[in-house]
Amino acid sequence: MFLTILTFSFQEDDNFKAERNNMVKTQIESRGIKDQATILALLKVKRHKFVPKEYVKRAYQDGPLPIGYGQTISQPYIVAFMTEIIKPKKGFKVLEIGTGSGYQAAILAEIIDSVYTIEIIKELENSAKKRFKDLNYKNISVKNADGYYGWKEKGPFDAIVVTAAAEFIPPPLLEQLKEGGRMIIPIGSPFMTQQLLLIEKKGGKTKTKNLMFVRFVPFTRSK
Ligand code: SAH
């Protein structure tokens, strides 16, 4: 009996590994993601551990999935794109707004030194925190707050990744970006198509580039 369960779970893991490899090949590499560190992180992180039980079988599909409280885990390709664009490397300190499932934070944590991530919904912050502990991520710090204000005590950051769509760029986030740093943020009205922007801070000025149309859940504000 015990052996049966054991064999079964090994098989399950193997299946997921094959699905993950396939996800990286067909959704990530085929769409032009080239950064090796990003690709290795997507091959490694078990996305099925970041989705609710009822979606485990769909964890490697090409799209976002519900994670409760009206929120979603982003599409794998979008996570890869947002990771590659900040040019992540060892030594980096990155701020993420919108922890959600914690998947994007885990991908970053595989590559860089420290990830600070903020989630406005207490229950999601709690479950992400537990997940990071279970999966042994020691370089991710989570807090429950309105990410509009950033995390000043821990800044400035080499990069800031915002995973909820805001109507404008929160000024505190720009302030907490290092000179030479990059911020990626979806901007636009909630539930409509938004623009994914890349903002670079150079010589005290900012340079903004429009990357693509995206659809994210709204950036909400604490009352
Ligand atoms: N990065 C997540 C994507 C989650 S969706 C993942 O990989 O799963 C975006 C998340 O942003 C939601 O969980 C939502 O609750 C959160 N959010 C929205 N507005 C926020 C704000 N002002 N501050 C912090 N988190 C916010």
CB of 150 sitting under 6 A from ligand 1: no
Which domains can be identified in the chain, with CATH numbers?
2-214 (3.40.50.150)
Tell me, yes or no, if 74 is annotated catalytic.
Answer: yes
Ligand 1 probe mutation, 104, 121, 160, 223, most atoms within 8 A of CB: 121
Q: Which of 74, 101, 114, 127 is catalytic?
A: 74
CB of 114 sitting under 6 A from ligand 1: no
Which residue's alpha carbon is nearest to atom 26 within ligand 1?
98
Contact 38, 80 (CB under 8 A): yes
CB of 121 sitting under 6 A from ligand 1: yes
Q: How many CB atoms lie within 10 A of CB 170?
A: 22
95 Cα–ligand 1 center, Å: 12
212 Cα–ligand 1 center, Å: 20
Which residue's alpha carbon is nearest to atom 10 within ligand 1?
98
Q: Which residues contact 118 (CB under 8 A, 6 or more apart)?
A: 95, 96, 97, 98, 99, 142, 143, 144, 145, 146, 147, 150, 151
How far, in Å, CA of 123 to CA of 107, rounded? 21
- What is the atom index within ligand 1 of the atom nearest the CA of 221? 22
CB of 84 sitting under 6 A from ligand 1: no
Here the tokens at position 178 are 């290092």
Helix (H) or strand (E) holding 198: strand 194-202
pLDDT digit of tens for each residue in the chain (223 aa)?
A: 566 666 666 677 778 999 999 999 999 999 999 999 999 999 999 999 999 999 999 999 999 999 999 999 999 999 999 999 999 999 999 999 999 999 999 999 999 999 999 999 999 999 999 999 999 999 999 999 999 999 999 999 999 999 999 999 999 999 999 999 999 999 998 778 899 999 999 988 999 999 999 999 999 998 7
- Residue 152 main-chain phi, psi, to 5 deg: -55, -45
- What is the atom index within ligand 1 of the atom nearest the CA of 118? 24
Total-model pTM: 0.95
CB of 158 sitting under 6 A from ligand 1: no
State the helix-helix crossing angle for 103-111 and 76-85, rounded to 10 degrees.
Answer: 40
Length of the chain: 223
